Amino acid sequence: MLLRLATKDEGPLPFDYLPGQYMNLKLNIDGKIVNRSYTIASSPTRRDACDLSIKRESNGSASRFLHDTIYVGSTIEGGAPAGKFVFTGSESNEVLLITGGRWNTPLMSMVWFLTDRSWDGDIYFLVVAKSERDLIFRDELTLLQKRFPKLHLCATLTRSDPESGWKN
């Protein structure tokens, strides 16, 4: 689930963040306060909303709550973006991003940020997933790769379906 946080008046966000940071959400689940951190998937260049990628976990009370009860217009309490795992392009003229499975959310924020800014450096992005179904942001990455020749994608599957055309 992609949870899009925005202001009620659809104006700019009341906070800034860097690509790769996360946010803490304060959720009231059945009268109990539950705090959870979620990585920001969107680019800081897009000032009107902030996207969090949240996988529904069968034993995760917070993820089930968000998937089952949050709807357009819901209000969620959150803390300021935090975290030092960031890359803005000023640190180097190329970057190698390596991720496994669904953990590529902070790296997607970095890729979107760099491509939004038409960063001149090379972006090498290696994604490892169990199956083709587990490649999140696959369509978005495919489109970005077509538009930005300096984005080099490599995806590898550890348990591919022979019918899909992918090889392990």
Residue boundaries of the structural domains of the chain: 2-78, 94-164
Q: What is the pLDDT of residue 168?
A: 47
Q: Please, which residues have CB within 8 angstroms of residue 52's CB and are 6 or more apart in sequence?
A: 2, 3, 5, 23, 25, 38, 39, 40, 41, 105
Domain at 2-78: CATH architecture:
Beta Barrel (2.40)
Q: Please tell me the CATH code under which domain 94-164 is placed.
A: 3.40.50.80
Do the Cβ atoms of 52 and 2 come closer than 8 Å? yes
Does an H or E element contain 112, and which? helix 105-116
Q: What is the pLDDT of residue 163?
A: 61
Spell out, as residue ranges, where the chain has pLDDT lower than 70.
Answer: 101-102, 160-168
Residue with tokens 């690509």: 19
Q: What is the pTM of this model?
A: 0.88
